[in-house]
Amino acid sequence: MNLADSVLAVNNDLPIRTDKPVHSGKVRSVYWLTEADSRRLIEQHSYDVPADTPLAIMVISDRISAFDCIFHGEGGLKGIPGKGAALNAISNHWFKLFKDNGLADSHILDIPHPFVWIVQKARPVKVEAIIRQYITGSMWRAYEKGERVFCGITLPDGLSKNQKLPQLLITPSTKGILTGIPGVPEQDDVNISRADIEANYQAFGFEKPEDIDLYEKLLKEGFGVISEALAKLDQLFVDTKFEFGYVTDRSGNSKLIYMDEVGTPDSSRIWDGAAFRDGKILENSKEGFRQFLLSHFPDPDILLNKDRMPEREALARDNALPLEAMMETSRTYTGIAAKITGQALPLSDNPKAEIIAILKQQYQLID
């Protein structure tokens, strides 16, 4: 098996039938289906959505993004082997657990392949819903410098690094650049308070004020379900980010659902319990890769300082990372996926060819 072939780095060039531009994010690409194909699939597969719901094919990749840049490895390795399949498998596992526990639905209607979701169009809430159980990362760095108020919540003095917080902390930030909201800077990823959301709930994409309570409830419940399941595996759920949106069900009612991915090593910090009890932090998440980058490059300020973005982009573009670092990251992703799902992750020699074959033969989405 050629390692570079086993990695799906480019995922926006699949010959899926679409009449709209392909939207390509840092990790996933989205293909909006034609109205005719959406209607056909809804009917053929009895998806629980109105007949005129727009559907999309969402294809994950093995690309790795850190500090807002995409990194690559030696030997033409454009991503992390097994990463995409691991992220999807973990999300699928948690979404099923949410359903079993009577929580909200997700945007996923079907899973044709380990790299592929068929999703319904949702109206996104423009809030990165972040919830924390321990003080670490950017929050610890700010706390250490004397900051005590986070998203309108005051923390006590005397906390130490990586300590469990007195209670679960919801620290939302903006998703995308929002304009015209008093007191909220017009830039992505800005911390906001619940008061900000309440005063401008429609600008943040909430349909009614009481849905702010619902989003916080779903955030805490989702966090609790994952945290409890991870605790049984002796893993600590440190913090995570959820995304929410609205969909319309078959009866025409609007409902708030979970969107994107949940509880993955990309969107969460997960620590090994045994190591933590020994006073060490063993990351089972992308944070380990971030820490590697900070120690690998001589001037870590380039990665941390938003004013040095051009230098950071050049760093990511011009430096192939050691193969061992890429494979260590691969072991982190595939290892935690196997631990969470209880089974070894099926890895493909050529995921692109498999995706094309399935979408052509079983879903008639490729001419």
Residue with tokens 């945007």: 107
What average pLDDT score do residues 268-281 get?
Answer: 97
Average pLDDT over residues 108-128: 96
Q: Is the pLDDT of residue 2 over 80?
A: no
Q: What is the DSSP string of 44-75?
A: HHT-SS-TT--EEEEEE---EEETTEEEEEST
pLDDT of residue 309: 97
CATH topology of domain 1-125+206-367: Phosphorylase Kinase; domain 1 (3.30.200)
Task: Give the pLDDT score at 206.
Answer: 98
pLDDT digits (tens, 9 = 90+) for 169-209: 999 999 988 888 888 888 888 999 999 999 999 999 999 99
First-to-last C-alpha distance (Å) of the chain: 29
pLDDT of 347 reads 84
Q: Of residues 346 and 101, which shows the higher confidence score?
A: 101
Quick one: pLDDT band at residue 299, thresholds 50, 70, 90?
A: very high
CB 81 within 8 A of CB 330: yes
pLDDT at 189: 86
How much is the average pLDDT of 65-84? 95
For all residues of the chain together, what is the average pLDDT? 95
Residue 362: exposed, middle, or buried by beta-carbon count in 10 A (0-12, 13-18, 19+)? exposed
Amino acid at 67: F
The confidence score (pLDDT) of residue 187 equals: 86
Q: Which residues contact 283 (CB under 8 A, 6 or more apart)?
A: 269, 270, 271, 291, 332
What are the sequence ranges of the domains in the chain?
A: 1-125+206-367
Give helix 323-341 / helix 83-100 axis angle, nearest 10°: 20
pLDDT score for 176: 87
DSSP per-residue string spanning 183-241: T--SSSS-B--HHHHHHTTTTTT-SSTTHHHHHHHHHHHHHHHHHHHHHHTTEEEEEEE
Return the amino acid letter for 41: L
pLDDT at 254: 95
The confidence band for 78, taking pLDDT boundaries of 50, 70 and 90, is very high
pLDDT tens digits, residue range 7-47?
999 999 999 999 999 999 999 999 999 999 999 999 999 99
User: Can you give the C-alpha Rg of the chain in angstroms?
Assistant: 21
Counting every residue, how long is the chain?
367
At 314 the pLDDT is: 98
Q: What is the pLDDT of residue 1?
A: 56
The answer to whether 236 and 273 are in contact (CB under 8 A) is yes
Confidence of residue 348 (pLDDT cuts 50, 70, 90): confident
More confident residue, 346 or 175: 175
